[in-house]
């Protein structure tokens, strides 16, 4: 077995890529990846932003939650995945849980940072004109923190991409993880690399889209 | 004696249980006049303004409007901020209309009112610009227009012109005096500039620092009915600036 087996020429990878696109197994894995990624990231954002807002406006919530958030953001989540399997089963739910554990913390932390850095004068302005606490949060505080929130979302997308792939690889039986595992065990290196390229292109595309969104909002971050 | 619209009675503010920011501040604000609160940095003048605005609850004493005690902010007092406090994602028109929006005024109605005041502060043509596209002076005009739309009797200004350059500041001061000839407002104005206080105010309240308390009240009695650019040449103006400086000197380290 030589280098050619492990690092096949690009032309070979290209053919393997074409083959890959014809396989139902690939499309099933793709659909599963897209689904778990979407649900996991969606939940991270939907839960992460309100939690971050809460921690930003309430010192009590911050005191209770910040230890956990800071613990999990730096913890090696990969090590936890085997523990998730018996809880959620070898199916979508484990991968979704992995995606959430990878991606939610950065949303929370960035949202909180955005909220706490909103200028006092903007809040005082809202109070001065008779806004309720709720209106101040919706009309002033959240929009003012939007650049940081979007940064958090972008970083969480990056982490969710890692989470969805790492989760599948650790489980090694489902989705792209299952395919990686099969290709490696049978030395189908062209397909293995073709799949790696697919994963890379997917991540870049998704992250590129979020950056585009971020740029549309960043214009007002300068004047705060 | 003038009609008193607002008064503070023995107002004291204590931060963190031990830092006394204000002590025994009793102040009468005459209706339709411009009162300047003057003092060195850290003397508590902004704190006093925020107490009057209802944004800071005093540790002792009360704020009364027309002899009725007030707690919290109210539609009778509109604030103009030192850092403008504009929403960066909103246009001039949306920013100016914010106060009315908070009051639940319909979109058509509030835009109509806002456009009137945008014109009055000299911002016509900039309605659809965003704050970052405006100069400091124009941003403060936006903040002023926003405070005017809600039509409150009392206008509170927290060092409104300190974040703009000297030329722009003079222009804004002149424009404010012109504006007050049309709008019948009571203005309470915080500043660290003696010239600004004497130039604009009917009553100059000098605060001494740490703890902030009223050291002296001066009534400039400057004739502002004529040409406003001549105010700075009046002997009375020059005298007063000197006089206030010599009494303030002792409070500045």
Mean pLDDT per block of 10 residues along chain B (253 residues) reads 84 86 90 90 88 92 90 91 93 95 93 93 92 91 94 92 86 87 89 89 87 86 74 84 84 68
C-alpha separations of B68 from B7, B22, B71 in Å: 10, 22, 10
What is the count of residue pairs from A and B with beta carbons less than 8 Å apart?
62
Contact A130 B87 (CB under 8 A): no
**How high is the pLDDT of residue A169?**
85
**How high is the pLDDT of residue B253?**
62
Rounded to whole angstroms, the Cα distance separating A210 from A79 reads 28
Domain boundaries, chain A: 31-223
Q: Which residue ranges of chain A lie beneath pLDDT 70?
A: 1-4, 218-224
Rounded to whole angstroms, the Cα distance separating A172 from A178 reads 5
Contact A223 B79 (CB under 8 A): no
Rounded to whole angstroms, the Cα distance separating A205 from A211 reads 10
Contact A130 B73 (CB under 8 A): yes
Closest by CA position to B4, among listed B153, B181, B149: B153
Chain A interface with B: residues with Cβ < 8 Å: 119, 121-122, 124-131, 135, 139-140, 143-144, 146, 219-224
**What's the topology of domain B4-76+153-251?**
Rossmann fold (3.40.50)
Contact A128 B132 (CB under 8 A): no
Rounded to whole angstroms, the Cα distance separating B241 from B220 reads 10
**What's the topology of domain A31-223?**
MetI-like fold (1.10.3720)
Residues in B 37-66 with any Cβ partner in A closer than 8 A: 50, 53-55
How many C-alpha atoms does B153 have within 13 Å on its Cβ side? 12
Residue A125 with chain B: CB contacts under 8 Å: 79, 81, 85, 98
Domain boundaries, chain B: 4-76+153-251, 86-151
Rounded to whole angstroms, the Cα distance separating A7 from A86 reads 36
CB neighbours (10 Å) of residue B225?
7
State the Rg of chain A over Cα.
21
> With contact defined as beta carbons under 8 Å apart, do A181 and A109 qualify?
no
Enumerate the H helices of A75-132 as residue ranges: 81-88, 92-116, 120-128
Contact A122 B87 (CB under 8 A): yes
Q: List the single residue in A119, A127, A143 with the smallest CB-CB distance to B83.
A: A119
- Cβ-proximal residues to A125 (8 Å cutoff; 6+ apart), any chain: A140, B79, B81, B85, B98
Rounded to whole angstroms, the Cα distance separating B6 from B45 reads 16
Q: List the single residue in B82, B102, B132 with the smallest CB-CB distance to A131.
A: B102
Q: Which residues pair with B186 in a beta bridge?
A: B154
**How high is the pLDDT of residue B157?**
95
User: How far is C-alpha A58 from the geometric centre of its chain's CA atoms?
Assistant: 26
What is the tens place of the pLDDT at every residue in A95-122?
A: 999 999 999 999 999 999 999 999 999 9
Contact B85 A219 (CB under 8 A): no
Residue with tokens 């909220």: A115
């Amino acid at each position: 077995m030589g280098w050619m087996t492990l690092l096949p020429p690009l032309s070979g990878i290209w053919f393997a890529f074409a083959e890959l696109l014809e396989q139902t197994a690939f499309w099933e894995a793709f659909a599963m990846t897209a689904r778990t990624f979407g649900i996991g990231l969606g939940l991270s954002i939907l839960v992460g932003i309100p939690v971050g807002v809460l921690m930003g406006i309430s010192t009590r919530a911050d005191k209770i939650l910040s230890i956990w958030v800071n613990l999990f953001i730096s913890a090696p989540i990969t090590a936890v995945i085997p523990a998730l399997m018996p809880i959620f089963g070898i199916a979508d739910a484990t991968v979704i849980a992995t995606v959430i554990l990878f991606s939610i913390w950065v949303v929370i932390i960035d949202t909180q940072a955005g909220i706490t850095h909103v200028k006092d004068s903007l809040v005082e302005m809202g109070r001065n004109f008779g806004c309720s606490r709720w209106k101040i949060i919706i009309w002033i505080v959240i929009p003012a923190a939007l650049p940081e929130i979007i940064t958090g979302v972008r970083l969480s997308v990056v982490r969710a991409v890692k989470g969805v792939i790492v989760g599948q690889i650790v489980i090694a039986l489902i989705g792209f993880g299952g395919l990686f595992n099969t290709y490696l065990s049978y030395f189908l290196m062209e397909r293995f690399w073709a799949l790696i390229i697919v994963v890379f292109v997917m991540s870049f595309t998704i992250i590129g889209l979020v950056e585009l969104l971020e740029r549309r909002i960043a214009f007002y971050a300068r004047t705060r | 004696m003038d009609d008193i619209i607002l008064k503070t009675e023995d107002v004291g503010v204590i931060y963190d249980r031990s830092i006394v920011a204000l002590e025994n501040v009793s102040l009468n604000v005459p209706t339709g006049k411009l009162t300047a609160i003057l003092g060195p940095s850290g003397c508590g003048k902004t704190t006093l303004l925020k107490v009057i605005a209802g944004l800071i609850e005093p540790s002792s004493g009360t704020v009364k409007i027309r002899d009725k005690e007030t707690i919290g902010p109210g539609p009778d007092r509109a604030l103009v901020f030192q850092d403008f406090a504009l929403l960066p994602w909103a246009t001039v028109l949306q920013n100016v209309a914010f106060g009315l929006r908070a009051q639940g005024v319909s979109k058509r109605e509030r835009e109509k009112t806002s456009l009137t005041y945008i014109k009055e502060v000299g911002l016509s043509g900039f309605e659809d610009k965003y704050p970052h596209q405006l100069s400091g002076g124009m941003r403060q005009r936006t903040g002023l227009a926003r405070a005017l739309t809600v039509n409150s009797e009392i206008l509170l200004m927290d060092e409104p012109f300190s974040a703009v350059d000297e030329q722009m500041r003079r222009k804004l001061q002149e424009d404010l005096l012109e504006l007050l000839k049309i709008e019948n407002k009571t203005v309470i104005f915080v500043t660290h500039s003696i010239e600004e206080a004497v130039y604009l105010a009917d009553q100059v309240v000098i605060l001494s620092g740490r703890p902030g308390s009223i050291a002296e009240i001066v009534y400039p009695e400057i004739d502002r009915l004529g040409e406003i650019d001549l105010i700075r040449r009046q002997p009375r103006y020059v005298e007063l600036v000197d006089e206030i400086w010599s009494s303030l000197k002792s409070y500045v380290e």
